[in-house]
Amino acid sequence: MRQHEIGGGARGTGGGARRVVFSPVDNRARVDTVVRRIGDAIELGLLADGEQLPGESELAAQLGVSTVTLREALMALRQQGLVTTRRGRGGGSFVSLPEVPADDRLRVRLRGWSTEELRDLGDHWAALSGAAARLAAQRTEPEDLHPLRRTAEELAHAEETATRSRLYGRFHVELAAAAQSARLTREQVALQSEVGALLCLVLGSGEYREEVADRHRSVISAVQDGAHESAGTLAERCVRESTARLVAVRLTL
């Protein structure tokens, strides 16, 4: 889990930016961030059903939030049915996957995002993947494309929605690595930890899975041909289409 996402990285030196730095931190936003982070990890199977979470003070320290914030977040997660708390010896907070279908739970999570936030997430993602595809087209030789091909083919055949979402994310991480950029790769990994669970909502359809696999294949072809502009445009279109679908689902909620 990455601590730097909490509290924002306000490095600007202007008066406005400084005021933001020293203004009281919005506790609500911190609670939401923790709820989102732990909830995503549960949806993606990174935290298993029945697994015990670290103790409150330890978990709060790891996430860089106060124990008060953490308690509020745990309360919200209990309300969503993703965490249960047992008292006494051997007690603590445990991951619990409720009986409610995963899609319904994910819709509850998506409701935590405004369409503006989703649009911004899509912009960020398109900027990363578009830049990565352009650079990869200039810096890639055929053998670098093996991982991307393998991922596109695995996605085309993946049955489980969570697997599809992980492979979708892996493709974009591998694309950033093919660009030979450690920074773009780290950014893409961090972004996938946010968007991964949500993507499950649009990748359930076999038809759309096929479309994404095709879009990935066309990115690979453009990268292979050294056609950097079209590689960038194709990568951007691929992720914009996915975020547009997420926004469409959000608007039905």
Partner 1 sequence: MGWSPGQVHSAAATLDTDAEAWVASQVGGALEAVFETVAATRHDTAALLAKTAAQGRRPASADLAALRPGLHQRLTRQELVSGVGFVAAPGLLTDVPAWLEWWQTGADGDVRPLLLDLDPGHSAYSDYTHWDWFALPRDTGRRAVAGPYVDYLCSDEYSLTLSAPVETEGRFAGVAAADVYLRHFEAAVLPLLRRLPRPAHLVNARGRVAASADPAHLAGSLTKGPDFGELLTEGTPAEHAGLRLVPCHRIPLVLVLA
Q: Give the interface segment with partner 1, choosing from 85-93, 166-174, 227-235, 242-250 (CB under 8 A).
A: 166-174
Residue of 161, 181, 224, 242 that binds partner 1 (CB under 8 A): 181
Rounded to whole angstroms, the Cα distance separating 92 from 85 reads: 6
Token pair for residue 132?
């990565």
Rounded to whole angstroms, the Cα distance separating 45 from 222 reads: 34
Token pair for residue 26?
């919005």
182 binds partner 1 (CB under 8 A): yes
For residue 212, with 0-12 CB atoms within 10 Å meaning exposed, 13-18 middle and 19 or more buried, which class applies?
buried
Q: Which residue's structure tokens are 């051997």?
A: 90
Q: What is the DSSP string of 67-81?
A: HHHHHHHHHHHHHTT
Residue of 69, 93, 129, 185 that binds partner 1 (CB under 8 A): 185
138 binds partner 1 (CB under 8 A): yes
DSSP, res 52: B
Q: By the 8 A CB rule, do 137 and 231 touch?
A: yes
Residue of 21, 25, 45, 204 that binds partner 1 (CB under 8 A): 45
Q: Give the interface segment with partner 1, choosing from 74-82, 177-185, 216-224, 240-248 (CB under 8 A).
A: 177-185
In 98-149, at which residue ranges do the beta strands (DSSP E only) sit?
none
- Where in 95-124 is the site for partner 1 (CB under 8 A)? none
Token pair for residue 228?
């950097």
Residue of 64, 112, 147, 204 that binds partner 1 (CB under 8 A): 147
Each residue 187-226 as x (binds partner 1 by CB under 8 A) or -, in order, gives --x-------------------------------------
Q: Give the interface segment with partner 1, choosing from 20-28, 66-74, 119-127, 138-146 (CB under 8 A).
A: 138-146
Residue of 176, 200, 201, 247 that binds partner 1 (CB under 8 A): 176
Cα 165 to chain centroid distance, Å, stands at 9
Strand (E) or helix (H) holding 91: none
Rounded to whole angstroms, the Cα distance separating 237 from 192 reads: 17
Residue of 36, 105, 109, 166 that binds partner 1 (CB under 8 A): 166
Longest dimension (CA), the chain: 63
- Three-state secondary-structure class, residue 96: coil
Paired residues of 84 in beta bridges: 94
Quote the least distance from Cβ 27 to partner 1, whole Å: 30
Residue of 28, 71, 111, 146 that binds partner 1 (CB under 8 A): 146
Q: Give the interface segment with partner 1, choosing from 5-13, 97-105, 135-143, 210-218 (CB under 8 A).
A: 135-143
Cα 66 to chain centroid distance, Å, stands at 24
Q: Give the interface segment with partner 1, choosing from 26-34, 71-79, 117-125, 183-191 (CB under 8 A).
A: 183-191
180 binds partner 1 (CB under 8 A): yes
Residues forming contacts to partner 1 in the complex (CB under 8 A) are 44-46, 48, 138-141, 143, 146-147, 150, 166-167, 169-170, 173, 176-177, 180-182, 185-186, 189
